[in-house]
Structure 1
Amino acid sequence: MSLVLPDAKGRLRTYVPRPEPADFTRPARPDPPTSAPAPATSRLPAGTPAPFASRTVFAAAHVVAAPYADNGPGAPAVVDWDATLAFRRHLWSYGLGVAEAMDTAQRGAGLDWPAAAELIRRSAAEASAVGGRIVCGVGTDQLPPGPASLDAVRAAYEEQLTAVEEVGAQAVLMASRALAAAARGPEDYLALYTELLRQAREPVVLHWLGPMFDPALRGYWGSDDLDAASAVLLEIIAADPAQVDGVKVSLLDAGREIALRRALPRGVRCYTGDDFHYPELIAGDEQGFSHALLGVLDPLGPLAADAVRRLDQGDTAGFRTRLDPARPLSRHLFEPPTHCYKTGVVLLAWLAGHQTHFTMVGGTQSARSLPHLARAYELADGLGLFPDPELAETRMRSLLGVYGIDG
């Protein structure tokens, strides 16, 4: 069988899908000795691998829209909860952690705060039931459109921080558009974050999302100069490092991340959010490495888990051999406009059989062109990411037919 796919210039060409998926093994959890007490992680389903030993790895997961609801632009988000939670169980089953209600879940781009709050509540309960690791995004997106005072921004953060901690999840203090608009300079970031860290019940993950992901976050930490911005972030961390688990860096600048990573206090993790350079950043160098909190791990979950298991065994070369070939797909999904990457992520989830439709909250399934989607399919198929290549081919053919391509 073959498909007719459009290229970037709209020309049609023939593509022959691979017949079999790649083999991404999940090592079974060994049974503890009968005389030993069961570890806390024994709540995971039988056959689920233990957490990684060498790196902490979170996949920022997408949400599955209810396909027959009014999920158009500007409408309140309506989520298919069963499919959404099933996808989180899929990620946990490979040993990955889940980063919940982050930008991959369309926070501020289709997923409103009431739906995000319910998502956090449901996912945290599911994580507790199966022993999966979870962190959840804390932001200010419940604020109405328009200017907000710094007091209102702080109160919004506090409301969401309470919501996350009350369900037993760890908080990620997400970058806030409202704060970026309201802050007059670095001192406002220092004051607000210092107060939030003081209030947090347990160490949090800080979040630096660059303007390529969200133009409204330009000048975060009080400066367009990235050296000055880094200095402010490091000052916030240095004031109370015990309250900072780590910092997620999403600047798509490997050198910048490495420099920040080396400047962090001992015990504070750097979580790469760089969906372009993650293989080398996670592998690290003689002075350290990055952990991971990545949207690209949503479609790459099984492959990435298999690669990190190799790191656990000290096989850095094997890790790179496994993960480096995924770089072209990552760069394609996150090409400009980068914030539209969620469309390709959800397409691949549909093609892989994790959901029954290609519909998104906010109607953002239309945010990428057919040539972009066709190339995403081709690259993912080449990696063997589809558990059922025939299903993926059938679904891709149906999408092509909507655009008038037969064959």
Structure 2
Amino acid sequence: MGHYSFKLPDLGEGIVESEVVDWYVSVGDTVEEDQHIADVMTDKATVELSAPVSGVIRNVGCEAGAMLAVGAELVLIETEGEGNAPEPTAQPAKAEPAVPAQPAAVAEPEPEIMAPVQKTTISHVPGRHEVLAAPSVRRRAREEDIDLGVVPGTGPAGRITNSDLDNFIAAGGMQAALPVSNLRAARSATTEVPIRGLRRMIAQKMVQSKRNIPHYSYIEEVDVSALEELRQHLNQNRKPHQPKLTLLPFIMQALTKVLPEFPFCNARYDDEREVLTQYEAVHIGIATMTEKGLMVPVVKHGESLDIWQSAAELSRIADAARDGSAKADELTGSTITITSLGAIGGIASTPVINAPETSIIGVNKLQERPVVHNGEIVVRKMMNLSSSFDHRVVDGYDAALMVQALKRLLENPASIFV
């Protein structure tokens, strides 16, 4: 009988600490070698860690949501074989959260984004069961004005899932669940949601980007009537193996044509070294909403892809980001980013630059509007591009020229393929 101390491994990319996002074991559990025991966050990727030996968990290094230094003990396992750690003097009944050491002096303190490590508070509704639901389910319930206290849950321990919400709505929703006198009852339940994992990483990156980068935003409307005709024609005549085309592959193709003329917009800026690296390759980040939050999978070497390949790769990496199968390499290395909210994209937006890039192209919703075309007022399909640039290295005049060049290609789509 021995004890095996499993240290948090070096996950690469210069990482000195990582967040333990989720535990799948607790003290006293019996585990098998290679069993999935924890998820660890590194940059934007979640890494699954497995038990190195079989045995019984005797200690865990921190609670879910806490940061753990590389090389610190992740778990202590009591194993039948020979271990690598001395016999512990006391076996803790409960893991205590790791407390990071504070430096003696800080020249410029970082804003406190890290969430407390306590678990999400369960809402208590008088006369009803305890509500267990993921943050995404709670958000959807708020949007649908549904009281989760009256929704039957079919998940573990009665947890409410998105499927439970679908069934509840299909059965009549709140109208069927509550008497008329209670439909306007005051609500008082609150929920504390720890900001951790991907959401914590997003918060840190957004603060860093907005604080360090002087954003310059430029908004221009684009007549995409001809582009929409071409897109519909190509979709109607595509081959069975070819993916359906949205607007994004056309914008990606247009960017690969435009960016060689504006290399400072297809670049990454190193703040510390004060060096701008310009790229001939066009690695396009695609801002993608997932259940865990915003992720930016990357279409590598967009300049080497045709329109169909662009659409296929765009679909592949977006699906990988949503289902959690995206690899670290597929979530890093972008040189410019496209962000789009599709039909809810609004009239204009001011997208935040995906640091250390220098440019981001925001796509707003397409809508029919009356415009002056060839001297007449006609209805055309219009869409605004809302773009942001790092004003330290991209002058406003040059940013405007880049967007205008992109506009010309999108309004004359045949030129994209010349």
Flag the structure with higher helix content.
1
TM-score normalised over the length of structure 2: 0.23
Q: Which has the larger radius of gyration?
A: 2
Flag the structure with higher strand content.
2
Structure number with greater CO (CA < 8 Å, separation at least 6) is 1
